[in-house]
Structure 1
Amino acid sequence: MDRSGELADFLRSRRARITPDRVGLTGDGRVRRVPALRRGEVARLAGVSTEYYTRLEQGRVGSPSLEVIESLARALQLDLAEREHFADLLARPTPSRRSSAAP
């Protein structure tokens, strides 16, 4: 599985274990198909847009800022090991730079 697939699975699994009641969200009158948090609810708790969170969960975001990573970790109630794994999943290998100067 590629890194974006691992990230998507990780975020979905962490979102699935949290209920709205657990984080103090009240019902909005819509019927819930699943008891877990919706993407929009995670985004609201983290202070990011639903579109941004959706792209992140789908692996379509480059490198989120440390502030966004921390906000999402708090919203998803990640423990220390989960926070480290989350950061690892978001890490991007740095491309090696080649010197253009001839030896």
Structure 2
Amino acid sequence: MRSPLAEFLRARRQVVSPDEVGLPSGHDRRRTPGLRRDEVALLAGVSVDYYTRLEQGRERRPSDQVLDALARVFHLDAEASEHLHQLARARARRYEVDGQDEQVKSHVLLLLDSWSHGPAAVLNRRTDVLAQNALSLPSSKG
């Protein structure tokens, strides 16, 4: 599954023609509509490998300068350019460690307390136990 940023880049690349960005259209047969990845990379001033990683969702933190360059290549208006930046920030934010992944919401705690069907726990991405119900606690019988 691709990231929303990757999907946006791919969609924009497909709707911009070489003529629109000053490239010769070359009457060769294009396998895909719009610009090729190497053309976008050239126009944005990034490597083809880097742009490919962005479009495949493998690059997590593009700089504002790269995003601005891509917005220029794709002729984005201010609103679409801001959307591009938000997509990139949302993708990066998922991987930041800011302590929010350590907080268990109160409604989840209530659900854990009411869960009587079996042991249940809330883990963070490092698999630390953040909360658990009474059935998941070790019994004091021994």
Aligned to 1:21: 19
| Structure with greater strand share of residues | 2
CA distance in 2, matches of 1:12, 1:56: 10
CA distance in 2, matches of 1:89, 1:27: 30
Deviation at 1:20, TM superposition (A): 0.4
1:79 aligns with 2:72: no
Number of residue pairs aligned between Structure 1 and Structure 2? 96
Deviation at 1:26, TM superposition (A): 1.2
CA RMSD in angstroms comes to: 2.0
TM-score by length of 1: 0.81
Q: Partner letter of residue 96 of structure 1?
A: D
**Percent same amino acid at aligned positions?**
48
TM-score by length of 2: 0.60
Q: Deviations over 1:1-44 (max 9, x none)?
A: x7x52112111111111100111101457421234101111111
CA distance in 1, matches of 2:28, 2:44: 22
Listed as ranges, the matches of 1:5-84 within 5 Å are 5-27=3-25, 30-84=28-82
Alignment gaps of 5+ in structure 2: 103-142
Aligned to 1:101: none
Give the structure with higher Rg (CA): 2
